A and B are shown apart, each in its own frame.
Chain A
Amino acid sequence: MGKFAAWVGYLIVLLGLPQLFDSVLAITILNQMAIAIVFALSYNMLLGQGGMLSFGHAVYFGLGGFMAVHALIMIEFETVYFSITLIPLVGGLIGLVAAIFVGSFSTHKAGTVFAMISLGIGELVAASSLIFVSFFGGEAGVSADRTFGPPFFGIEFFQDVEIYYLSAGWVFVATVFMYLFTQTPAGRMANAVRDNPERAEFIGYSARRVRFISFCTSGFFAGVAGGLFALNYEFITEENLNAVTSGRVLLMAYIGGLGYFIGPIIGAVVLTLMNSLLSNYTELWMLYLGIMFVLTVLFLPRGFAGFIMIHQTAWLRGKLSSLFLPYLITGMPAIMFGGSILAAIEMLHHDGEPFGFLFITLDSGNTLHWLALTAVAAASYYACWRSLGQLNAAWEEANGVGDPTERGPG
């Protein structure tokens, strides 16, 4: 029943968010999140569950999106007649077709060979999209109008919030199906092939076919995300199928946490928020994103979801609350240290002109500011370093490490 409750909770959050945050900006961000969640989940199906590192996943997203925009144009000119609520399905089918074609030759090996083929295909498609102007519209892309289709129960999708509810529905359905996929024999075998293709072959499964199935399913859902993109923005350009978009989805899935179903959802939400909110405050948000990504790979190899999951033992032992104070003691100076580094970066960036940083005004021309910043950074670093011992002790206590009466979970 716990799982059922989680799904109901997920649906309530999806549908309730626009009630809580109803500004125009918030709805825009929510729409971006919806697209990102489906896209990142489809990527995790490849890398997290299937062990295939792809550098060209945007191809399926972009091709689906382009076809979806063309479908919208066809609806507008009444070449075809169906409700625009089905547009993501069009995107998904195109993503599936493209994935079947590419997967037929790229899935016989995982690892570096697969990664390199995906890179090559990604570059090929991105470059071709600039050459075949009649379909891809060149640099300008193609655009359409979503409001010409037959109304869906009286809704004509003039407003972004209506598109959000439509997207939320699709996100929920897509998430359910992607979760169910992980529970099917095909999904389970994908994990087996990821961990040890040789053994999987010995039990009688073709590693290549298992990868192929994951790959095609993943391409389908990437196409659905592309269709959602087309519905939301009503235009699409070459940028949506090139290496930048492929890189971004890798970032989302990795920061969120590969290997956990919920990881990519966390990654998609966090990165979309950073993308839209942080970019209002600083021009350097891409630099911070890069720093965050590298730090995540270095110190949280299983992503945010992995960080949450390592607390499971402490939680099961009922000792999670005993970690709160030690976290606070180490966390406060750590945040102070991070903040002073950020302040230094911003001071270098705003060379010579004063600017507002959180609640204070900093000026890189003022030597006193530099001295104060150095002092804060040094003090907080020292405090953080000194507090590591108590955090470590508390962690071991909460997890029963070194306690002879305790037995670990295996």
Chain B
Amino acid sequence: MNRRQFLKRVSTALAVPTILPASALGLNGTVAPNNRIVFGCIGIGNRARHVMPSFLAQTDIVFATVSDCREDRMKSAKEMMDTHYGNKDCRMYPDFQELLAQKDLDAVFIATGDRWHTTASIYAARAGKDMYCEKPISMCISEGRKLVETCRHFGTIYQAGTQRRSTASYRFAVEMVRQGKIGRLHTVEIQVWTGPTIGHDKPAPVPAGWDYDRWLGPVQWRPFVPKRVEGANWNYFWDTGEGPIIGMGCHYTDQMQWALGRDHTGPVEFEGQCTWPDPAKFMSETPVNAEVRCRYADGIVGVMYSRKQSADRYIRYIGDEGWIQVDDATDAVTAHPKSILNLRGTASVDWINAGDHVRNLLNSIRSRRPTICHPEAAHRAQTICQAMNIGLRLGKKLRWDPVKESFDCEAANRMRHREPRAPWRV
């Protein structure tokens, strides 16, 4: 914040009211308004309502605006903000580009559906905003690379919403692996749930208050089919989501990359099998059960299973002298030898709490130093899941050059990119 901006804010904040609450001046331990980071939120759905408490708990930020293409969601988001701040100041913008045009905003929280993540992030970066963007950060590899370049170009502080890097259980596991407590690591095992299937459904009129065209955004137009859109269903169609391997898997590939210290590179080989939904019964497109392997150049193998229930998800690091595992649903850490667990000092912060992850972003916004899930790290973790999916879709083993970011297969290389629907070119 420079002096001019400071004076501007002070003059608007101070000049009008005659009675000043002490909190406005930062007298009771709160952060003075002119030192708060002003946030906007793009896309306020289920996920945003989950994370928002972690944001609102931070006293040095203020949410000034919200944007959503669904009127009901936008209104209820405004209500949430206004209730929290005890005023009526939260502004609403059906068009997120208008939100981004607001000069008072310093940063945005992007929690749209997956199809919008990268495009919205790039627009936000161009508008000079810092951001926290929910995972998965992109829908294709080339889009992710563009995001990395854009953030670098504009000096954007960007935090990917893979918040497990900021929770105690995962930090502990990674520490143990790095300290060699399980010997030499050779395998990272990951399990996400079985991909759901969705039966065929007819189109229906777009519900009142939805800007469906904006909801689709960069995705090819198609009629409004309730079961493709509702709840988390959009996760299971290729143009709006990519199934549990990406939707959830990117949390764990992110952990794997972090534990291995490979944030700027990635595996060199991908291979897997899966079962697909029967098209005669289901319209969903993403795999049901899957087992996908990736191999790093030094021989370390990552295996991702998509099987069983949501509650069964875990990540396990296996070395030649033992293993350590974090069960995601319970946040329980188990290990062999059990003695490893004695080293665990800190009380745990559950993965549900994104507070520390938000804190990390806020510190970076002030210090201008990279976040813990900076774009390059997030893009590399995301690339692994995307390469897995490409291998499954093509039904073949792929070799990957993490320097050039290209496959040994022309068909796979073509699948690194998808054309957005005009005018959403980035």
A complexed with B: no
